[in-house]
A and B are shown apart, each in its own frame.
Chain A
Amino acid sequence: MSEKIEIKKLNLFYGDFHALIDVNLGIPEKRVTSIIGPSGCGKSTLLRCLNRMNDLVEGVRVTGSIKIDNIEVCSPNTDLISLRQKVGMVFQRPNPFPLSIFENVVYGLRISGTNKRSVLEEVAEKSLSEVLLFDDLKDKLSDPALGLTLEQQQKLCIARVIAMRPEVILLDEPCSTLDPIATLKIEDLMQILKKDYSLVIVTHNMQQAARASDTTCYMLLGEMIECGETKDIFTAPKDKRTEDYISGRFG
């Protein structure tokens, strides 16, 4: 199994606060990797390091290395636009723009300069098909995206990411506002998407990590405690701290 992302001795400081401590991690290609851990353990911070979203936070300082396909992400020379094109992100709350469904999907292409209608239509159809929305919405592409259900909105946000042809998709608690059925549908979608993309998901829902991911990583107080095959982590974790957390004996 080849590694898409290689993280070595990654440290992150928010001012004086040491949020990530010597994190080492290999994220496999075309698999779902989940990061679990209690609130404040650094899992979202780690996720945001992968496409340099933390650069937007004042006073943040990062040391160490993150390589995607052997290309350093942390370098000051990294082109952030092409990085975020390659590493797309889906957030907790579905955040469609107040535009039509069609314009939401092609938004990234438009701002990167693609305006040819036939190209945009082709990409919109392909992206919406990949997230299993096209059949339902093909006659409503001009309708406002905000009129969709939450599940459809979140799928639309994934389609918007996919339209940019990323290689990695980061999902930060993507189902936290969804009901259980919509959650399962997004998880099913992740299983389809992993054939073409490497997915990294941060979740508080351990059952979701168990159901939807191939690899699970446990973080605690900024440290990466254990990372392994999901079935091993949930049946026979090696570290006592992982065992305590996943079996509800934390704190």
Chain B
Amino acid sequence: MIHQNSLFDTELGELKETVLKMGILVQSLIQKSVDSLKNQDPKLAQNVIDDDKKVDQLELDIDEKCINLIALREPKATDLRFITMAMRIGTDLERIGDLAEDIAERTIELGNQPLVKPLIDLPKMAQLAQEAIALALDAFVTLNVEKARLIWAKEKEMDQLRDKVQEELEEIMAKDASTVKRALPLLLTARHLERICDHATNIAEDIIYVVEARVVKHQGKS
């Protein structure tokens, strides 16, 4: 149903668009950061680091929009939950942007040293992270809890892949200590990607709160 004050609906729409814009930007940063690592492309990595500033600015824009909406429109019920969760989602997306930047920094650290192993699982993890974020954004825009819940399956898959990558890298480092300096950036990248998926899970929990007014955070998923 349309709000009695039509400007309020317009402002809510603008907030949603900003969150979506930020989500699409961080998705592209994940892709670029992992590509920079895979192709050992420091220019692309620097591009990710530079673009993270845009993500930071979008987080500030979202905060400002939310604070203005709360102060001026006195939202209630679903509107209130939507606005407060949009602020939290902004924070999660900003952290995802930082993690993409961290991956780009690993690329720069590695420079042109040969990789300790071909990158097969890390790109898979990057793909999973992007899928999780895409689901989160779709669920946010459509307020669809079923889509939000699909993210938990991605998170499980992500954890398994991270464990696999970690085991492989530990084995490589155990066999030849001279690989440690080159293996660690990959190990950290796996950790960063896994954290990205955790943030997507946070977003899913926030969406469930918006739609169902039910807190699932820290309570086991259901």
Query: Is A247 within 8 A of B213, CB to CB?
Result: no
A49 within 8 Å of B (CB atoms): no
Q: Which residues of B contact A (CB under 8 A)?
A: 1-5, 8, 74-81, 213
Chain A 149-171 against B: per-residue CB contact (8 Å), 1 yes, 0 no? 00000000000000000000000
Question: Are B80 and A248 in contact, CB atoms less than 8 angstroms apart?
Answer: no
**B80–A250 touching, CB < 8 Å:** no
A247-B81 contact given A234-B76, A235-B213, A236-B213, CB 8 Å threshold: no
Are A207 and B74 in contact, CB atoms less than 8 angstroms apart? yes
Provide the residues of chain A in CB contact with B75, threshold 8 Å.
247
Chain B: CB-nearest residue to A210:
B76
A180 to chain B, nearest CB (A): 14
Q: Is the CB of A246 within 8 A of B4?
A: no
CA distance A88 to B80 in the complex (A): 36
Which A residues from 198 to 251 make CB contacts under 8 A with B? 206-207, 210, 234-237, 242-244, 246-251
Q: A210 contacts which chain B residues (CB < 8 A)?
A: 76
Which of B1, B5, B74 touches A244 (beta carbons < 8 Å)?
A: B1
Residue of A whose beta carbon sits closest to that of B4:
A248
CB-CB under 8 A from B5, the residues of chain A are: 248
- Specify the chain B residue showing the minimal Cβ separation from A242: B77
Q: Assess the A251–B4 pair: CB atoms within 8 A.
A: yes
CA distance A242 to B78 in the complex (A): 11
Interface size on A, residues (CB 8 A): 16
Assembled-state Cα–Cα distance A249/B213 (Å): 18
- If A207-B74, A234-B76, A235-B213 touch, whether A249 touches B4 (CB-CB below 8 Å) is yes
Complex contacts, A236 vs chain B, CB 8 Å: 77, 81, 213
Cβ–Cβ < 8 Å partners of A235 in chain B: 76-77, 80-81, 213
Chain A positions within 8 Å of B74 at CB level: 206-207
CA distance A79 to B80 in the complex (A): 47
List the 9 shortest-distance A-B pairs measured between CB atoms, nearest first.
Answer: A236-B213, A249-B1, A246-B76, A248-B4, A247-B76, A243-B77, A247-B77, A247-B79, A248-B3
CA of A251 to CA of B1, assembled, Å: 9
Contact A234 B77, beta carbon cutoff 8 Å: yes
CA distance A244 to B3 in the complex (A): 9
13 additional contacts (CB under 8 A) given A235-B213, A237-B77, A248-B8: A206-B76, A235-B77, A235-B80, A236-B213, A242-B77, A247-B3, A247-B76, A247-B77, A247-B78, A248-B4, A248-B76, A249-B4, A250-B1
Determine the residue in chain B with the shortest Cβ distance to A251: B4
Which residues of A122-155 have CB atoms within 8 Å of chain B's CB atoms? none
Residue of B nearest to A207 (CB): B74
CA distance A237 to B77 in the complex (A): 7
A243 touches B78 (CB 8 A): yes
Alpha-carbon separation in the docked complex, A243 to B4 (Å): 13
Nearest neighbor of B209 in chain A, beta-carbon distance: A236
Chain B neighbourhood of A237, CB < 8 A? 77
Report the bound CA distance from A234 to B78 in whole Å. Answer: 9
With A and B bound together, what is the CA distance between A92 and B213 in angstroms?
Answer: 35
Closest to A236 in B: B213
Contact residues in B for A207 (Cβ distance below 8 Å): 74
Chain A nearest Cβ from B52, distance in angstroms: 34
Instruction: Name the distance in Å between B33's Cβ and chain A's nearest Cβ.
Output: 38
